[in-house]
Amino acid sequence: MAFDPALRKQENGYTFIDEGQGDVLLLLHGLFGALSNWGDVVKYFSPKYRVIIPVMPIYEMPLDTAGIDGLVDFLEGFIAWKGLADFTLIGNSLGGHVGLVYTLRHPDMVKRLVLTGSSGLFENSLGGSYPKRGSYDYIQERVAYTFYDPKTASKELVDEVFDITKSIPKCLRIVAIAKSAQRHNLAHDLHKITIPTLLVWGLNDTITPPIVAHEFNRLMPNSQLRFLDKCCHAPMMEHPEKFNLITEQFLEQTALIPS
């Protein structure tokens, strides 16, 4: 689904989407992600839920705070400004990692978690050598690597990442955040998260392979794991219908569980 830029709002220094009414679904994108990554999710869930997506300041945050903790600090500020509580947090890749750390900091704020291709245990780095500047073909290859079907890496998406990697300051932040994510391993803390958690993973994920999903499932006491075949690192983009259906079933199953 093409993303409707009219959904984008800007207030109080934040760029975000806030659509629909009802229980809040707070969505977090990954390192090279954007609001458009969640286009099909917004369309599917906004008739029944309030869907909120902040743009994380990955490319603008001060270099000395560019990391997981800095992004969680940003998320805390956004949630406080919006006055949110008792919400479902849905995160892809780095967004899942940020969501997990936020949940560990504020266990009473998050009602449920949905993680898809989350970092936090192990990932083949999207930083480091990834932001190779000046080579469009290289960027195209690396973006395609995150999808099972390379055609999912549209020219618009590749152009967006290529433009990011042309900026030295942005590349420095990407590398800093990627290294922070690798250092910020959550293996010893995940058992503390006891809220219902859904893990939706691509069976062909090359960034956070299936073994990572099994490890999340083992370490998180109230988690359930679903795999999508012919799917890599972004199930909500590659198989939005299946991702949405699995997520909806989980939300309905856990709706009556006391917070």
In a domain, 168, yes or no: no
- Greater confidence (171 vs 51) lies with 51
In a domain, 140, yes or no: no
In a domain, 160, yes or no: no
| Overall domain count for the chain | 1
In a domain, 152, yes or no: no
Residue with tokens 């906004």: 46
- The model's confidence at residue 132, banded by pLDDT at 50, 70 and 90, is low
Q: What is the mean pLDDT of residues 2-23?
A: 90
Percent of the chain surpassing pLDDT 90? 73
- Greater confidence (139 vs 46) lies with 46
In a domain, 227, yes or no: yes
- The model's confidence at residue 130, banded by pLDDT at 50, 70 and 90, is very low
Which residues have CB under 8 Å from 143's CB, separation 6+?
A: 32, 153, 157, 158, 161
- The model's confidence at residue 33, banded by pLDDT at 50, 70 and 90, is confident
Task: Give residue 214's domain range.
Answer: 5-123+186-253
| CATH code for the domain of 30 | 3.40.50.1820
Q: How far apart are CA 224 and CA 216, in angstroms?
A: 9
- Whether the predicted pLDDT of 97 surpasses 60: yes
pLDDT in tens, 229-257: 999 999 999 999 999 999 999 999 998 75
pLDDT in tens, 141-185: 888 888 999 888 888 888 888 888 888 898 899 989 999 999 999
- Whether the predicted pLDDT of 4 surpasses 90: no
In a domain, 70, yes or no: yes
In a domain, 213, yes or no: yes
In a domain, 139, yes or no: no
